[in-house]
Structure 1
């Protein structure tokens, strides 16, 4: 090879965050099947599901770059703080009024605004009125469309204004209606902390009946008619893509975040009738689990979402292609030489078995972020050298393992109460053990010692069992089984469901363990990614 490569402090094959990875993202993009499914305008797939670091944002940005008629909805521009800070909304939440229909109406309105802007290139009030006059003329004799047309007529001069003004106006309409009937109750709620908890069941039920009639059933009906109208207003060869990302960030108060996400999913299903509109929502696997946990009601079946979900998965060939593209992009520009691959810089065997790249894969959850992070740390450890040696690989693994353990805990801490404490229970264990090894009286002592202060523990099956075990007998096997389910969900362990099947990790299926598949002799393997950080005995 000409001009031997020498690693320096700036040698890295990209950033682990797609938002900060502009230099590498599009030049080194690797196509995966999830992208093709989401681009298919007639496909029902619209929920891009994957763990943190799997590449969801990269796919969202790729779609936005590829299609001229596409736009990402910016959650921080939607005036959702106004929604969360509304005394009326908070009052309705506190008296347990189901706001799902109102939230669905908000999302439908938001998406329809963006669709009309994209489809008709609405950029100012004059263009807005011109486009709507065309729609009115096309359907003025169709009595079935009149309700939808009236809704559009009311908003025709406002479709070009900022999103936050639209949401604020819809919310203010609800506030005015509710306050007209329940103003005195809302004033008491605002003036006295905990007022809602002092209401009798009869009083609370009465307030709920009054409030429910204002929570957007008419607005949803109007919007359904708008969907009918737009669905019949011709089609365009080029579809419009509405993209939503960053739902896992702190864009809204947690008290209404999960109902809002549930309403988003429900609202988008009905918008599929508009044939040249495609919505794509990126969701972390743990966030969807939390949404289902927090908003589950009678009759809810999470499997009904399956028709709309694309699970983002990577295989070894795709990840190898990704790394080779990035290695080549980094070093070829600098050294002006032939194509450079992973093997050109990882020339030495770094473990006793398998290739260097397989060693990386074994210590990853098969996500781009893991691989990019590990390679970057190897290059950092090898600064001043021309190749990555076994010594620098092992040095990098110490930092990498600690980094990934912290990321794992942070990823799942909002879904699994006490996630950090649960992972700590694996510390110093053998790499492979059986469920019966967990079934000891010490397990209960360890869990009681780490009992969380969070009020969320009341909704968590494991901590409910721990609390029960302090006053009555709970079988250690029951505790251990629930603990294993939690650790498996986090990706900390793999479980061998039967003797003839391989170890099953959550990153492979993105589904929780099947119920009633655990036995005392069920084998469990701690993921190699966190061995170093937890001092696991191989």
Structure 2
């Protein structure tokens, strides 16, 4: 967008936005670009409820805009629910040691939390007095409905505590599970400690019997009762179809629980998002990182699992280049209007034109060094502003100087983003250092591969590259070859967006953030031409 020339200087500390949506609320409110995702998300009849995207793609921004756009909503942060106590719960460790599946238990926890939050929102339950008034009214409404017997049992059991903290509800449900297990096991095993070590001390025959009894307790949880509660809420509490109620959930990718518990809890939430569609004017909306969803499905899939059944509930956040250009342009205009003048100032007013003799436009140069998501673009432009501080115009020299800093930050950001899946990513990515920006597998010499393998050997075995290296050095039968290590490394680097590949001479290069998110071993073995992403050229000393 070209406007009148301006002589307004770029001030020190001027930036076009913070990288976290929570600290960027002011500019987000003024410069939000609606691509149609928000209206789809808030449509209670539309199934899309899981905002899916990579780090920095705008998931939290959608959550914040959604909260601002509706009248009735509640926000849940898993860090506030104190899920971490489950990691140290004796009864949970007891079940894990016996191999008892707790999927239903985690669903009950979420369903209870969501029911309580919806009731609080609907009836303004903030005190014991509010709670009592609500129950009296509710019992009068349902007095003649004997079909809702189980739902009434639920309200009788929990109704006087709807107003207390959510994490206390979860602890009470867990304590109830322990009491029910103790009752089910009975006097025959009355001396068993309901702990992980207690389960391990059982004989094999006792383990089978106790496991079966414990499984019956899990199977008999309140799930049927809670199903009737949903029907009851639909009929008596959320009967006004003109009013909409939303529960927004974010920060699921933060370290609020140990990874295994977190995966099970997120999978249970996804199931409950589907279940709560029974309430026609209620919608549960959650934001989830793409790599975290992959890990959740990978760690919780059972026999017969079909990932495609969940696709209709996902709302992928995808950005086009022109949309990101509009984001940058709008933010530049906003900060100049606020600090200087109402005269419009756009991207092309302060960024340089293509170099003489040909070359990319400034906006293309910037976007080529992103994974096509807002955070990357904001980060690069902010670094450029730092370098150009005090200047009226930005030069290509400013852009190149800022790129060195930006590239190092992008490398560290990849490590942070993918740390759960690839904890040794910074070691693996060294295989690319000093290579040509487009290279072949033949350029990855034995010395280069060996140096990286030595670094990976003592690394975290959660990383697939570490696992294959350890197998290689521990395999006396020669089943693992160095080519297998290279294949695993390239698959990992493709997944995180560090490289693109050309599977055949007739194909174009494909990238995980544009095309397919993962690549198979067969495809990577057939990919002889590999390209390093431009965002990493400076930090990895790539030859270009």
TM-score, structure 2 as length reference: 0.91
| Contact 1:350-1:356 within 8 A present in 2 as well | no
2:539 corresponds to: 533
* Corresponding residue number in structure 2 for 1:289: 294
Q: Map 1:292-311 to 2 at 5 A.
A: 292-311=297-316
Structure 2 counterpart of 1:235, from 235, 240, 251 = 240
CA distance in 1 between partners of 2:58 and 2:514 (Å): 15
For residues 399 and 459 of structure 1, what CA distance do their matches in structure 2 show?
28
Give the Å deviation of 1:14: 1.1
Q: In structure 2, do the counterparts of structure 1 residues 280 and 202 end up closer, same or farther at CA, with 3 Å as the change threshold?
A: same
2:361 to 355, 361, 383: 355
Which residue is 1:405 aligned to?
411
Deviates more, 1:235-244 or 1:196-205: 196-205
C-alpha deviation, 1:272, in angstroms: 0.9
1:471 shift after superposition: 4.3
Cα contact 1:444–1:466 (8 A) shared by 2:
no
**SS across alignment from 1:283:** strand
Q: How is 1:378-417 mapped onto 2 (pairs within 5 angstroms)?
A: 378-417=384-423
| Among 254, 267, 270, the residue aligned to 1:249 | 254
The 3 A distance-change label for structure 1 pair 219 and 116 is: same
Query: How far apart in 2 are the matches of 1:183 and 1:435?
Result: 63
Q: Give the superposition deviation at 1:497.
A: 3.4
Unaligned regions of 5+ residues in structure 2, if any? none
* 2:211 matched residue in structure 1: 208
Give the deviation of 1:62 after TM superposition. Answer: 0.6
Give the deviation of 1:183 after TM superposition.
6.3
Match of 1:263 in 2: 268
**How far off is 1:85 after superposition?**
2.6
Tell me the distance in 2 between the aligned counterparts of 1:453 and 1:121. Answer: 51
Partner deviation per Cα, 1:501-525 (whole Å, 9 max, x = no partner): 4322111246312563334454221
| Distance of aligned partners of 1:463 and 1:31 in 2 relative to their CA distance in 1, 3 Å threshold | farther
Measured against aligned partners, the alpha-carbon deviations of 1:330-352 in whole angstroms (never above 9, x if no partner) come to 11121114111111110343695
Alignment of 1:430-509 (within 5 A): 430-435=436-441, 437-438=443-444, 443=449, 446-457=452-463, 462-463=468-469, 466=472, 469=475, 471-509=477-515
* Aligned 1:39-188 pairs, distance under 5 A: 39-180=42-183, 181=185, 184-186=191-193
Please tell me whether the aligned partners of residues 462 and 483 of structure 1 are also in contact (alpha carbons under 8 angstroms): no
Aligned-partner SS, 1:13: coil
**Cα 1:497–1:231, aligned 2, differ >3 Å: closer, same or farther?**
farther
| Partners of 2:51 and 2:317 within 8 A in 1 | yes
Mean CA deviation greater in 213-222 or 389-398: 213-222
- CA 519–66 in structure 1, closer or farther in 2 if over 3 Å, else same: same
- After superposition, the Cα gap between the structure-2 partners of 1:510 and 1:516, relative to the gap in structure 1 and judged at 3 Å, is closer
Instruction: Give 1:484 shift.
Output: 1.9
- 2:378 matched residue in structure 1: 372
Given that 1:441 and 1:476 are in contact with CA atoms closer than 8 Å, whether structure 2 keeps it comes out as no
Q: 1:457 to 1:494 in 2, by over 3 A?
A: closer
Q: Which one of 225, 230, 234 corresponds to residue 222 of structure 1?
A: 225
What are the superposed Cα offsets for residues 202-250 of structure 1, whole Å, 9 maximum, x if unpaired? 4433332232222263311111111122233323312111011101112
TM-score, normalized by length of structure 1? 0.92
Kept in 2, the 8 Å contact 1:496–1:503? The answer is yes
RMSD: 2.6
Going from structure 1 to structure 2, the CA distance change for 1:70 and 1:188 (only over 3 Å counts) comes to closer
Would you say the 8 A contact 2:53–2:288 is kept in 1?
yes
Query: Could you tell me how far 1:465 is from its partner in structure 2?
Result: 5.2
2:326 counterpart residue number: 321
Aligned match for 2:277, one of 272, 281, 290: 272
Match for residue 37 of structure 1 among 14, 37, 40: 40
User: CA 1:387 to 1:186, structure 2 compared with 1: closer, same or farther past 3 Å?
Assistant: farther
Native 8 Å contact 2:73 2:247 kept in 1: yes
| CA shift for structure 1 position 385 | 0.9
Cα–Cα, structure 1 residues 197 and 387, in superposed 2: closer, same or farther, change >3 Å? farther
State the Cα distance separating 1:259 from its structure 2 match: 1.1
Displacement after TM superposition at 1:127 (Å): 3.7
After superposition, the Cα gap between the structure-2 partners of 1:223 and 1:435, relative to the gap in structure 1 and judged at 3 Å, is: farther
**Counterpart of 2:435?**
429
Tell me the CA shift for residue 398 of structure 1: 0.2
**Structure 1: gaps of 5 or more residues:** none
Change (3 A) 1:312 1:460: farther
Residues of 1 paired with 2:354 and 2:476: CA distance? 52
Structure 2 contact 354–361 (Cα < 8 Å) conserved: yes
Q: Which runs of 4+ in 1 moved over 6 A?
A: 458-461
CA distance in 2, matches of 1:4, 1:65: 37
